[in-house]
Chains A and B, each alone.
Chain A
């Protein structure tokens, strides 16, 4: 299905996540004439416009009307086509939440939502354009697959994979200026399967999106400077969740830190906490994310640092969690 794509590793260094998305979608569109594209006056900003230029007949710009956007996509999917829909994450997940739930997820339609400007990547725009709630919302829609790629190459993998993945898929990316983590695309991406970034035995950082690069850097630093062995797991698919990878990390390292560009409620950290609770295994646990507030205004770098989503922040939290001597607690049951 997805052979012969024209994007290259070189592109990942010069193209943003969204630009790669536009290119990959064009390549997929060549091979699969069922693919149609939709946007709501954000064709250029989300880069789906590239698909629109190449396939003008298969692209629909509905104007600034997100509820209509997802309703129309549902209709296109019902007619037998595979719509790719792009707008900013905040408008997809919240303005059109009910259309996505009731028209698309409920009817289990083959509709692929590529939401850009996720998290706090459009930091200077303020709360109306921040999106730190979408993962919680999308995760709660039955039938929905939720993916947060680490960078442009993972984005390409996710977009290719979602075409053959039945049902609705929500892929969340940033604004497009994020540094890349992966150097090549054939690291074994599979929807629902976590990627081990590095192995470790003292603590596991479970992360997604832009936080993967930061966590990898933190782990490297902690190995060199603190002699700590930190495992990093990239959970690019938030749903269905790779519970096995999480359970293994709990058993192997007994200390877990989650990192995500999302409110600490309802996102990756909450998903991981559910798995830990269900296992009945105790472990030290800390969620890094936006601490249930509307994020400050600012450029993303400043915000990532403020909310401890960058390598320095992650390092400081890991040190705290390592300092936690929970095995000496009276009520600590080592084996359940």
Chain B
């Protein structure tokens, strides 16, 4: 069902709040992967507030859609959405990173409700998605598996091993979104280890590629709905994004891959989100 203007207004409001949450958690935690947390906010917001078939009151519901944050360092951007959706109390996130907290930088599926797979070591999510999708098909389940990949993460061979397998097994019950923010840790993706022609690589592996603006709900909505219906081959959505999106002094700044915020910077960052 195509997205309405009213829905877009709602999602925009959610995204603003989530970005401020990300800023708060980064401040409380003493440091977090904020840049890549902010680049995927719209992607997670549209999945969690529009598309995922889930029930936060019943996190282990067997027929729920599965969501894998393969770029697991994005935990700081993921945890607030799970909290706002009602999986757990938001105030628990004040303990992010702290001793015996369920919330480390990379979320643990055994400790955090709503997290389907423990991630943090890059390149693990897509193979697990292939397994989930095969499992769903074998057991005649209609739920979908969504996976969010980092673009730098796509350097890992295991991503391409899984890509080959997904196409080989004709898995059309999985939807993969790449957060194409063009940055990793040591620089731009193209300067460290060139990915381009990126779309052609996926195509050569047997996938259908959709491009989207990863900060635009119309664009994301169109791509996701296309992927949900496609039954010829697995679909990857390459979502163009901006690392640090929403916080002017972080946008496209590689040094904000990981960082801490004092109260002044937290204020500055929130003011920027409100602009």
Contact = CB atoms under 8 A, between A and B. Distances in A.
B197 interface: no
B186 A44 contact: yes
B100 A298 contact: yes
Nearest to B152: A64
Interface stretch (A25-33, A120-128, A206-214): A120-128
B37 to A, nearest CB: 14
A43 B193 CA distance: 13
B99 A63 contact: no
Given A124-B29, A128-B72, A297 B97 contact: yes
Contacts of B155: 40-41, 62-65
A103 interface: no
A26 to B, nearest CB: 17
Interface string A40-73: 1111110001000000000001111101100000
B186 A49 contact: yes
B101 A298 contact: yes
A61 B152 CA distance: 13
A41 B119 CA distance: 18
Nearest to A94: B121
A296 B111 CA distance: 11
Query: Which of A42, A61, A126, A303 is packed against the most chain B CB atoms within 10 Å?
Result: A126
A165 interface: no
Contact of B157 (A41, A44, A68, A129): A68
Contacts of B193: 41, 61-65
A298 B185 contact: no
Contact of A90 (B97, B101, B121, B184): B121
Interface stretch (B1-9, B47-55, B102-110, B232-240): B102-110
A95 interface: yes
B157 A126 contact: no
A299 B98 contact: yes
Interface residues of A, number: 31
A44 B184 CA distance: 12
B97 A124 contact: yes
A199 B102 CA distance: 43
B152 A65 contact: no
B60 interface: no
A126 B103 CA distance: 8
B27 interface: no
A43 B254 CA distance: 13
A90 B30 CA distance: 23
A302 interface: yes
Given A128-B121, A297-B103, A64 B156 contact: yes
A306 interface: yes
B186 A299 contact: no
Contacts of B153: 64
Contacts of A43: 186
B184 A63 contact: yes
Given A41-B155, A61-B192, A296-B99, A126 B104 contact: yes
A91 interface: yes
A41 B121 contact: no
A64 B104 contact: no
A45 B185 contact: yes
Nearest to B155: A63
B123 A64 contact: yes
Interface in B79-134: 97-108, 118-123
Contacts of A125: 104-106, 120
B72 A298 contact: no
Nearest to A122: B105
Interface string A302-331: 110010000000000000000000000000
Contacts of B72: 128
17 contacts: A39-B186, A41-B152, A42-B185, A43-B186, A49-B186, A62-B155, A64-B123, A68-B157, A95-B121, A124-B104, A125-B105, A125-B106, A126-B107, A127-B108, A298-B97, A298-B98, A298-B100
Given A127-B106, A296-B100, A297-B101, 6 more contacts: A41-B155, A61-B186, A63-B155, A129-B120, A297-B102, A297-B104
The 9 closest A-B pairs by CB, nearest first: A63-B193, A126-B104, A128-B120, A298-B99, A63-B155, A297-B104, A124-B97, A302-B99, A64-B155
